[in-house]
């Protein structure tokens, strides 16, 4: 199944319920038609309330909006029991209730932590799709090994894989694998190289001090290319992803940045500058997860 996935979505990680009341109407007015959330973000309720009101106020229909949420199926390394088939099957009910929805457009397994239970959890996801509670189902932070498990079990492959991608973490082998298997790619943490990414107190990542210094360098390639095209560094990073045919889900609670992050049609990064950005790869392991990128798990 080929899903109709908007190329640009509004990410909501670390945005509180009360902030979403103001952010989501701004995002929809700016043209976003995809909203990404997750059970562990603890803001599905805020997304649901804001969406319900914004649809009414702006004259939009539910069918015009693409909603992604994710089920966190457990992590034994954190002392969490892996979800069973039945628990995974019932997990969607709380999301539907909080989001005030009859169905989810894209329901993802958040990470591949449950090695022995992954296949059963995926069976439950397929059943949710068959039941119509999710229009499409996919995964996040999965690598080739995890998806091959699904194929070897004789089950349908994911409708999408959401992974961390940016010039510092390009995951070329995984990207090639996903493209060969026609699995759409959604890039998250596209703005990780920027100096202000997760810079607030309590915002965790595996970013090193040197990376933060590099992001602040006035002669960094991101700053120089942004200046050349008359756009922001964030717009350069987002456009890089779009030109690689990745869907993106930039997140901001600042209204001017919400608008700026979707305003990407005014420029095209030329091939030489794309090569410069692609030369900045550091590691397949991304920065978003403090304990390490789950795509590196076996």
Question: Active-site residues: which are they?
Answer: 41
Burial of 58 (0-12, 13-18, 19+ CB in 10 A): exposed
Beta pairing partners, 138: 108
What does DSSP say about strands 10-11 and 161-164: parallel, antiparallel, or unpaired? unpaired
Beta pairing partners, 186: 162, 247
Q: Distance (Å, rounded) from C-alpha 246 to C-alpha 190?
A: 10
Torsion angle of the four alpha carbons 107, 252, 265, 28, in this order, in degrees rounded to the nearest 10: 60
Question: Tokens for 18?
Answer: 């009360």
Q: Distance (Å, rounded) from C-alpha 270 to C-alpha 273?
A: 5
Three-state DSSP class for residue 35: strand
Which residues are within 8 A (CB) of 183 and not within 5 positions of it... i.e. 6 or more apart?
Answer: 138, 147, 157, 158, 159, 160, 161
Q: Name the one residue in this structure whose structure tokens are 């590099």.
A: 214
- Alpha helices by DSSP H, listed for the chain, are 17-30, 44-58, 85-90, 92-99, 118-131, 144-152, 172-180, 209-216, 221-229, 233-243, 255-262, 271-278
Three-state DSSP class for residue 57: helix
């Amino acid at each position: 199944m080929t899903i109709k996935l908007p190329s640009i979505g509004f990410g909501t990680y670390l945005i509180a319920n009360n902030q979403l009341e103001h952010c989501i109407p701004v995002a929809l007015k700016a043209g976003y038609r995809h909203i990404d959330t997750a059970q562990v973000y603890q803001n599905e309720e805020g997304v649901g309330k804001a969406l319900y009101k914004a649809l009414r106020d702006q004259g939009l229909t539910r069918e015009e909006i693409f909603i992604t949420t994710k089920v966190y199926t457990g992590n034994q390394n954190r002392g969490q029991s892996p979800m069973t088939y039945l628990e995974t099957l019932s997990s969607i009910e709380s999301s539907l209730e909080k989001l005030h929805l009859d169905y989810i457009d894209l329901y993802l397994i958040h990470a591949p932590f449950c090695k022995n239970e992954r296949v059963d959890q995926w069976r439950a996801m397929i059943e949710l799709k068959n039941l119509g509670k999710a229009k499409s189902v996919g995964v996040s932070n999965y690598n080739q090994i995890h998806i091959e498990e699904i194929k070897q079990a004789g089950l349908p492959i994911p409708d999408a894989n959401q992974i961390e991608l940016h010039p510092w973490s390009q995951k070329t082998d995984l990207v090639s694998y996903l493209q060969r298997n026609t699995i759409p790619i959604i890039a998250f943490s596209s703005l990780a190289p920027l100096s202000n990414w997760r810079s607030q107190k309590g915002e965790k990542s595996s970013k090193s001090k040197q990376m933060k210094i590099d992001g602040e360098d006035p002669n960094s390639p991101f700053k120089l290319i942004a200046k050349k095209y008359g756009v922001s560094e964030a717009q350069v990073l987002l456009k890089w992803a779009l030109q690689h045919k990745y869907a993106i889900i930039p997140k901001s609670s600042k209204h001017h940045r919400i608008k700026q992050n979707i305003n990407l049609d005014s420029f095209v990064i030329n091939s030489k500058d794309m090569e410069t950005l692609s030369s900045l790869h550091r590691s397949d392991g991304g920065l978003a997860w403090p304990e390490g990128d789950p795509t590196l798990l076996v």
